[in-house]
Chains A and B, each alone.
Chain A
């Protein structure tokens, strides 16, 4: 299974964190620190895999964002790379030309999309169409924009 998935910027700012096993907050912060230093220090065109403790780290950079996940020993690294790619595609399909700002301002959406795709560290649904459909369906359940805009800001 996948143990965690992190999105961080080139400056090391964490943009999204998903933990598939419970860990104390302190441990999480330490892992985030380790991952950002480890991955950001890698030179371009090196391989996308690392060994870290007993885990395999798979990472890939998309524009200004690094997508980085940790896998257990027997997992398939190449396919994990494609999990990251599929997630980027899903974000892209949803936001349309996704950029870091979309994820910052709509972080909750980024989580919802991830939840449709992965669950408990395993792939739940790989079909882009199915995921897009269910996200769309849940968006349809929302109230209209006007309804929201009429609400007070603070």
Chain B
């Protein structure tokens, strides 16, 4: 056979490939290619018609050139011509060229579709397979439209050859993945399920892939596949290794099919039928037993195939999470693999155990392997294996072993690969916080982190330690003492200086009694680091100094001296200079009382999701970082409940329904502790409102102007959620601070932060009802674009802020407010945005949205920034509308009318007759209805010019079915819109939204 095939004769092609291989340089190669391209072009353009062979040869050369990485901009037409050749090889090359080179929006698609259509109806299995492959390879929407009906028919037709069935099943799978809306379920679905019983194992393999994907989307339609899959699996598992002939792979019976069947079963809960369930358990036990048998072959292929099935079986056991014995056996099996000599198996065992650790039945069993895992961390030579070991330690951590695990991770950190250090730092920080009983341990751990891997300690980590120290007064003294000692080291990381500066500035007084850490010594210690630090840290230290002036009047002179020095007052950096000037003035003119009020200790921070956890999630991508305890059920509640600190844990649990699976707990409503307005944050925020000009102003109280400094600054630490949802305007300043209010107030009165800005822009709002992307707002400074996606009751919106100017926006903040009752109906969690937007740059912010119940109002996006020193306030209504939470529902005419009747109560129907605002183009109308979120149902309404749609609104608490009918009257240029849903408020809201669109 190879004799014929190898030299199937395109000599010209072989010569060309040799030429290319002989090219000594890239230039020579390009030259040779250009020569060839010119040659081919002239052949294609020439007067002489080319024969099929030449066409094939040249098309193949073009393909080769393309695969070398060069652009090809001609020859497509010739390739399409080859499709209709009746010589197989020519057809085959034509299809290959098209599969590799034709992109979905090519204008040739129509011609290609024609050729495919001919081949599909040729009844020649070889040609049909080529055509199906081409559809699967290109998989464009046009192809899906053309063949979505045909392919299922081929798949279930009685006389289709097995090989064609296989291609048809996978082709349909591909179409379903690219254009699910075009592949409606139909009577073929039931017959597809029965392919699981097919004689031909190749057909079953292909069909199982298809069924698995379909079952993930429509579990109810494919329920019957469970019993068939179990039966099939059982037959394979119990078969002798020779029974399945060529489907036995290195003595393992049909490993591919077994794995696919096990995957299919993972789409469903454990079977309810006891007999089926028993049979499945038997299968799983047999697979586990086989792992203990001596291998039938020494070949790695044998062990890989066998273990592939075993790992998949374990995945299913973990997925079911219902059979304690199986779970523990699985855990023991993985435990054996942890010490296997095959690196691959150790890697997979670590990975699998991570998921096992989250099951309440097996968590304890996983924990028994802690020593092995720690050993892996120390001895594995492969960084990707060590990474998995870190992941597993993180997953198996609980209160009982937290100290050990954190200690091991810390010691590993000293030698860890740079690529994974940041992640380990985050994990250590999270575990230390979560399982701290004793907060001195927590403080020690974080300081150790900074010492060992200071460069990898992100802002979130050190912000968090400060938040915790501020919130817990039992640890403040210890923290002050520890940072003081840590700062004694001759070289310490800048992050330590930051933490030290902040903590001593707040709590230095707690250790000032000790003569070894007297105020002056503290100050000198901090100041000795000053000159080695970057500008932001110096700015923070200056704030610490002013706090020292309040804490320790005895060092006031020394500090004023420092502030007054030229290196401060005339510092080249405007921020440092400004701070020095302002703090110096403040220390001179303000009375002790006022100083004490302004520089009061920071109030506790509202408890919220750990910003570090959020960061880790962001780093690892959604869905991959479970909060170690989230999945574990309430088993450890009594341990956790013992101390009151674990509010983060408890809160995370309370909000268990995860956000698109990524466990991003929605922002917790802040504890309503009134925040004193007058405390001055130490954080390096530019204190711009406090301009020198302000000092020249008469010090008269001006009503309504709020203390501008503190509001933006005081919330800075709350990185986890820059926007507090139901933020209240800052409380009015205390009387004692009224004088200062004026010192700090800006020249021009600005709207208080958090209060609604002047006008809420909503001109583009209604344009987003039927679409998800576009420009929401634009003025001469800023453009706001949106991209959003919704699934069931969850949504994610990407907001793009484009700076249209050439200068930076400073202090940029964007927060979302759900006013009135909306916050109980809709959760919007805004990730913090960068405070700086460069000129011409674009900033992206992600909003996570959860619909709790049906709603009418829309959330408001408040944006603030400084442009050229002027505070800009923009508020825009965010187009989060109820219809976004639609899931389309396909149904036939009979179904539709039956449901229509069921929703016949007068309050369930809302009808509106209105004049058309736009031209009454039926294609546009269809697109809008689909964009609205419902399925457009064809052939339901007896009058073909009417539109009928159906969908279900998903909210967290309920689902509301909804039927829509739109009747255009072209003569009168009017529409009649009728909506029926099970809830009157929903009907009304949807009607209002939709009737604006036509």
Give A residues with C-beta under 8 Å from B: 1, 14, 16-17, 22, 29, 43, 45-51, 53-54, 74, 76-79, 81-82, 85-86, 94-96, 102, 104-109, 111-112, 115, 119-130, 134-139, 141-145, 147-149, 151-154
Residues of B within 8 A of A151 (CB): 9, 11, 53-54
Report the minimal beta-carbon distance from A143 to chain B, rounded to whole angstroms.
7
Q: Provide a sorted-by-A list of 26 A–B residue pairs whose CB atoms are within 8 angstroms.
A: A16-B67, A46-B384, A47-B382, A47-B385, A74-B266, A76-B308, A78-B307, A78-B308, A78-B344, A78-B348, A82-B305, A85-B301, A94-B1, A95-B6, A108-B60, A109-B5, A111-B96, A124-B167, A124-B170, A125-B205, A126-B247, A143-B87, A145-B4, A147-B9, A148-B10, A149-B11
Does B136 lie at the interface of the complex (its beta carbon under 8 Å from any beta carbon of A)?
Answer: yes
**Which stretch from B14-22, B466-474, B756-764, B930-938 is at the chain A interface?**
B14-22
Provide the bound-state CA to CA distance between A152 and B450, in Å: 73
> Is A76 touching B259 in the complex (CB atoms < 8 A)?
yes
Known A120-B173, A137-B126, A154-B12; contact A78-B246, beta-carbon cutoff 8 A = no
> Is A139 touching B8 in the complex (CB atoms < 8 A)?
yes
Residues of B within 8 A of A135 (CB): 5
Report the minimal beta-carbon distance from B473 to chain A, rounded to whole angstroms.
43
Provide the bound-state CA to CA distance between A148 and B126, in Å: 22
Provide the bound-state CA to CA distance between A125 and B200, in Å: 10
Residues of A within 8 A of B266 (CB): 74
| A134 (CB) vs chain B CBs: closest residue | B163
Does B171 lie at the interface of the complex (its beta carbon under 8 Å from any beta carbon of A)?
Answer: yes
Provide the bound-state CA to CA distance between A29 and B71, in Å: 12
**Which 4 interchain pairs have the tightest Cβ spacing?**
A148-B9, A120-B174, A141-B88, A78-B308
> Is A108 touching B4 in the complex (CB atoms < 8 A)?
no
> Is A123 touching B246 in the complex (CB atoms < 8 A)?
no
Which of A43, A139, A152 has the most CB atoms of chain B within a 10 A radius of its CB?
A139
> Is B6 touching A148 in the complex (CB atoms < 8 A)?
no
Residues of B within 8 A of A22 (CB): 103-104, 138-140
> Is A107 touching B67 in the complex (CB atoms < 8 A)?
yes
| B53 (CB) vs chain A CBs: closest residue | A151
Provide the bound-state CA to CA distance between A45 and B246, in Å: 31
> Is B9 touching A153 in the complex (CB atoms < 8 A)?
no
Contact with A along B291-323 (1 / 0, CB 8 A): 000000000010011011001100100000000
Provide the bound-state CA to CA distance between A17 and B3, in Å: 26
Residues of B within 8 A of A14 (CB): 67, 69
Provide the bound-state CA to CA distance between A22 and B144, in Å: 14
Known A119-B133, A120-B171, A144-B4; contact A154-B39, beta-carbon cutoff 8 A = yes
Does B347 lie at the interface of the complex (its beta carbon under 8 Å from any beta carbon of A)?
Answer: yes
Provide the bound-state CA to CA distance between A50 and B384, in Å: 7
> Is A49 touching B2 in the complex (CB atoms < 8 A)?
no
Provide the bound-state CA to CA distance between A47 and B7, in Å: 38
> Is A139 touching B5 in the complex (CB atoms < 8 A)?
yes
Provide the bound-state CA to CA distance between A121 and B133, in Å: 11
Does B92 lie at the interface of the complex (its beta carbon under 8 Å from any beta carbon of A)?
Answer: yes
Provide the bound-state CA to CA distance between A56 and B275, in Å: 37
Contact with A along B342-369 (1 / 0, CB 8 A): 0110111000000000000000000000
Provide the bound-state CA to CA distance between A99 and B348, in Å: 31
Known A104-B21, A130-B246, A138-B126; contact A46-B88, beta-carbon cutoff 8 A = no
Residues of A within 8 A of B304 (CB): 78-79, 81-82
> Is B11 touching A122 in the complex (CB atoms < 8 A)?
no
Residues of B within 8 A of A86 (CB): 249
Which of A76, A81, A149, A154 has the most CB atoms of chain B within a 10 A radius of its CB?
A76
> Is A82 touching B308 in the complex (CB atoms < 8 A)?
yes
Residues of A within 8 A of B171 (CB): 119-120
Provide the bound-state CA to CA distance between A21 and B959, in Å: 34
Provide the bound-state CA to CA distance between A93 and B35, in Å: 36
Task: Tell me whether chain B's interface is mostly helix, strand or loop, or mixed.
Answer: helix
Provide the bound-state CA to CA distance between A65 and B7, in Å: 23
> Is B255 touching A79 in the complex (CB atoms < 8 A)?
yes
Residues of B within 8 A of A130 (CB): 163, 202, 246
| B21 (CB) vs chain A CBs: closest residue | A104
Provide the bound-state CA to CA distance between A66 and B245, in Å: 30
Residues of A within 8 A of B812 (CB): none
Q: Tell me which of A46, A76, A109 contacts B312 (CB under 8 A).
A: A76
Residues of B within 8 A of A16 (CB): 67
| B172 (CB) vs chain A CBs: closest residue | A120
Residues of A within 8 A of B1 (CB): 94, 136, 139
Provide the bound-state CA to CA distance between A120 and B302, in Å: 26
Provide the bound-state CA to CA distance between A112 and B89, in Å: 11
Q: Tell me which of B6, B140, B163, B259 contacts A106 (CB under 8 A).
A: B6
* Interface of chain B residues 566 through 612 with chain A (CB within 8 A): none
> Is A126 touching B12 in the complex (CB atoms < 8 A)?
no
Residues of B within 8 A of A128 (CB): 246
Residues of A within 8 A of B133 (CB): 115, 119
Does B26 lie at the interface of the complex (its beta carbon under 8 Å from any beta carbon of A)?
Answer: no
> Is A95 touching B2 in the complex (CB atoms < 8 A)?
yes
Provide the bound-state CA to CA distance between A105 and B13, in Å: 8
> Is A119 touching B263 in the complex (CB atoms < 8 A)?
no
Residues of B within 8 A of A136 (CB): 1
> Is A47 touching B14 in the complex (CB atoms < 8 A)?
no
Known A94-B2, A127-B202, A154-B12; contact A76-B311, beta-carbon cutoff 8 A = yes
Known A51-B384, A78-B311, A137-B126; contact A107-B64, beta-carbon cutoff 8 A = yes
Contact with A along B449-485 (1 / 0, CB 8 A): 0000000000000000000000000000000000000
Residues of A within 8 A of B60 (CB): 108
| B262 (CB) vs chain A CBs: closest residue | A76
Known A22-B139, A136-B1; contact A82-B6, beta-carbon cutoff 8 A = no
Residues of A within 8 A of B205 (CB): 123-126
Known A77-B348, A141-B89, A154-B12; contact A120-B67, beta-carbon cutoff 8 A = no
Q: Tell me which of B4, B39, B307, B347 contacts A47 (CB under 8 A).
A: B347
Provide the bound-state CA to CA distance between A85 and B248, in Å: 15
Provide the bound-state CA to CA distance between A107 and B64, in Å: 8
| B133 (CB) vs chain A CBs: closest residue | A115
> Is B343 touching A45 in the complex (CB atoms < 8 A)?
yes
> Is B6 touching A49 in the complex (CB atoms < 8 A)?
no
Q: Tell me which of A79, A134, A148 contacts B305 (CB under 8 A).
A: A79
Residues of A within 8 A of B138 (CB): 22
| A16 (CB) vs chain B CBs: closest residue | B67
Residues of A within 8 A of B63 (CB): 108
Residues of B within 8 A of A139 (CB): 1, 4-5, 8
Does B900 lie at the interface of the complex (its beta carbon under 8 Å from any beta carbon of A)?
Answer: no
Report the minimal beta-carbon distance from B268 to chain A, rounded to whole angstroms.
15
Q: Tell me which of A115, A120, A123, A153 contacts B256 (CB under 8 A).
A: A123
Report the minimal beta-carbon distance from A46 to chain B, rounded to whole angstroms.
4
Provide the bound-state CA to CA distance between A5 and B205, in Å: 20
Provide the bound-state CA to CA distance between A96 and B3, in Å: 10
Residues of B within 8 A of A152 (CB): 12, 54
Does B206 lie at the interface of the complex (its beta carbon under 8 Å from any beta carbon of A)?
Answer: yes
Does B821 lie at the interface of the complex (its beta carbon under 8 Å from any beta carbon of A)?
Answer: no
Provide the bound-state CA to CA distance between A48 and B347, in Å: 9
| A46 (CB) vs chain B CBs: closest residue | B382
Provide the bound-state CA to CA distance between A154 and B15, in Å: 9
Provide the bound-state CA to CA distance between A142 and B92, in Å: 11
> Is B96 touching A49 in the complex (CB atoms < 8 A)?
no
Residues of A within 8 A of B343 (CB): 45-47
Provide the bound-state CA to CA distance between A133 and B344, in Å: 33
Residues of A within 8 A of B385 (CB): 46-47
Besides the known contacts A78-B305, A78-B307, 5 further A-B residue pairs in the complex with CB atoms under 8 A apart: A106-B6, A119-B170, A141-B88, A145-B8, A148-B7
Provide the bound-state CA to CA distance between A104 and B88, in Å: 22
Does B978 lie at the interface of the complex (its beta carbon under 8 Å from any beta carbon of A)?
Answer: no
Provide the bound-state CA to CA distance between A82 and B174, in Å: 23
Known A82-B305, A122-B209, A143-B87; contact A105-B17, beta-carbon cutoff 8 A = yes
Residues of A within 8 A of B307 (CB): 78
Report the minimal beta-carbon distance from A92 to chain B, rounded to whole angstroms.
11
Which of A81, A106, A128, A136 has the most CB atoms of chain B within a 10 A radius of its CB?
A106
> Is B92 touching A138 in the complex (CB atoms < 8 A)?
yes
